[in-house]
Chain A
Amino acid sequence: MSKGAQEAARWHPRASLRKALSIAFSYTLLLFILGFAIFPFLWTLAISITDKQASGISIYDFPRSLFPPAVTLGNFFEVFDKLNLGKYFLNSVVITALTVVGTLLVSALAAYPLARLKFPGRALIFGAIVSTLVLPTEIAFIVNVLTLRDLGLLGTYAGVVLPLVATAFGIFLMRQAYLAIPGTLMEAARMDGACELQILWRVMIPLSLPSLTALGIFTLVGTWNAFFWPSVALLTNDDLLPMSVAILKLKGQFNYDVFNVAAGAMIMMIPVLVVFFLAQRFFMRGMEGAVKG
């Protein structure tokens, strides 16, 4: 029946006109939404490459300011020079790297006994980790700063990173990956006299690389972009701020240079975009893709 309908549509000139119109309408809508999604980036890109010396151009001079008459990369150098962006960029790199490595390590280790070992207290611990998903986190940040202060970690990289690395999400993801590995592989390794650490390192981790990669990428993007927690944990030490926090401080300065801030924004966005484009399948499939590899 539906095949008949398609044939009828193909032969009927009015129906095929209607179909063409509907496709044209679809694409118009798709382009409009694309404009909404990426216009802020395009405009910021245009600002960042505008040569401000060439003309006393205002960024609000539409539509001229969307197509800069004179182009330069000078803003990108200036923002390192004048606003010290290099320092903040490095802070972002260090905080993100430590968080990713820490998360992978903690999750890969903790998930193994939960997935594959029998020991007293397993159900209880698993339940406790699940419960962190519903615990009210509204008040946690207040106490965490107090705790870091008591530990002498307030205003340090470790103070930002340590509260972030043990997550239910990471442990679940790795547990799922380990559960999918055939038990016979573990038995064979045990027969050969491998200890649990060797089984984890030689069997489980190589076979769950897709999940580790996914966890690493999600953690990377999330940490690079994070604003709230680093801004609180580094309350007392502006020197270690990541770019996500620093860029707003730069913008908050009286008489800030729009062109430099736009360049800084682009510098912060580009690494995320590269990672996103390279690893889009992990994002576009939701978690399903990550779990199944």
Chain B
Amino acid sequence: MKRQALTTTLIAYAFLAPALVLMGLFTFYPVFYGSYLGFTDYTVAELASGEGPKWVGLKNIQFVLGDPLFQTGILNSLKYLLVVPILQIASLAVAVLVNQKLPLMAFFRVGYYIPVVTSISLAAVMWEWIFQKEGFLNWSLQLLNVLNSEGRFNWLLNENTALWAIMLVTFWRGFGYYMVLYLAGLQSIPAELEEAATLDGATAWQRFWLVIVPLMRPTLLLCSLLSTIAAIRVLEEIIVFTGGSGGPLNSTYTALLYVYNKSWGNMLNANFGVAGAAGLLMALVGFALSYINFRLTREERGER
């Protein structure tokens, strides 16, 4: 019987071995070693000469906190969070819209999901044409008489609009995904509640804000948590739209772009110590946001 247990243990670890080795090497080790690098001097020069990292304590953290570029990055990443409430409320509204018992709803749902399965690099190719000076966005705005032909500009090359333009693409790629999550939640709302509100003379607008939003709060909070974490970590969008420059005038320079440009984004000038320190600080911001969101969600559960 004892031999049997030993055999089982051996088999279990043999089955787990590939996963454990790969996770250890590419998930756990980089987090710890990367954090350690944040407290050392380690640049591409040391890497090339084969020297190891040298411990310098909090020097990198101090440098990063004092670096105006990182401050701009944090500010832009926080600005990016504005996409979260808009995205969540709009996705819920879209979910309500396609949850009606009308023909063709499955067709619309599938259509809305297509941007979710679109690569960010393809999104960049297509949306850059839309945002051009002669692009579709300006043409539509001209049709609506919002712009005249002199007022046209490239949305990605204007420091007041570039970040918003990229946020619109995040919105475009996200609303179908959250719509599906909200649809699952909406199934649990009894139809009588909405009917009762309709009988009481509530308009669709009132039904949405006074019946659906309060009832969907747990799902709303969960989705907001997912979307907050994604938004504060925005990086790919910036790389594909600005080529990693964070321009114009650093108006799209985000905190993770700083980490990227201090490491492999700019290989010849890479400073892994500074990049690691900035990454650690970002991880702390991420933890803080998750914690706030988690507390909100838990309070919600406590109430019920």
- Chain A residues in the interface with B (C-beta under 8 A): 1-2, 5, 22-23, 26-27, 29-30, 33-34, 36-41, 43-44, 47, 58-60, 62, 105-107, 109-110, 112-114, 117-120, 122, 125, 128-129, 132, 134-147, 162-163, 165-166, 171, 196-197, 200, 221, 224-228, 231-232, 235, 244-245, 247-248, 251-252, 258, 261-262, 265, 268-269, 272-273, 276-277, 280, 283-286, 288
B19 touches A109 (CB 8 A): yes
A5, chain B: closest CB distance, angstroms = 6
- Top 8 closest pairs, chain A to chain B, by CB: A136-B283, A139-B34, A143-B30, A139-B279, A225-B119, A113-B12, A110-B19, A60-B134
Known: A29-B97, A166-B23, A284-B110. A232 touches B119 (CB 8 A): no
B133, chain A: closest CB distance, angstroms = 9
18 contacts between A and B (CB under 8 A): A26-B100, A37-B111, A44-B125, A58-B134, A106-B22, A107-B19, A109-B16, A119-B12, A125-B16, A137-B27, A138-B283, A143-B33, A225-B120, A227-B236, A258-B129, A283-B116, A284-B109, A286-B181
B122 within 8 A of A: yes
- Chain B residues in the interface with A (C-beta under 8 A): 5, 8-9, 11-13, 15-16, 18-20, 22-23, 25-31, 33-35, 37-38, 47, 94, 97-98, 100, 102, 104, 108-130, 132, 134-136, 139, 172, 176, 180-181, 184, 192, 195-196, 198-199, 204, 233, 235-236, 239-240, 243, 256, 259, 263-264, 267, 272, 275-276, 279-280, 282-283, 286-287, 290
Contacts of B117 in A (CB 8 A): 221, 225, 272-273, 276, 283
Q: Among B37, B125, B192, B275, point to the contact of A261 (Cβ < 8 A).
A: B125
Chain B interface SS verdict (over half): helix
B240, chain A: closest CB distance, angstroms = 6
A-B contact count (CB 8 A): 257
B111 touches A269 (CB 8 A): no
B22 touches A139 (CB 8 A): no
Contacts of A58 in B (CB 8 A): 134
Query: Given the complex of chains A and B, what is the CA–CA distance between A58 and B199 in angstroms?
Result: 54
Contacts of A118 in B (CB 8 A): 8
A166 touches B114 (CB 8 A): no
Known: A128-B28, A162-B26, A284-B113. 7 other contacts (CB 8 A): A29-B97, A106-B18, A107-B19, A112-B15, A166-B27, A225-B118, A247-B122
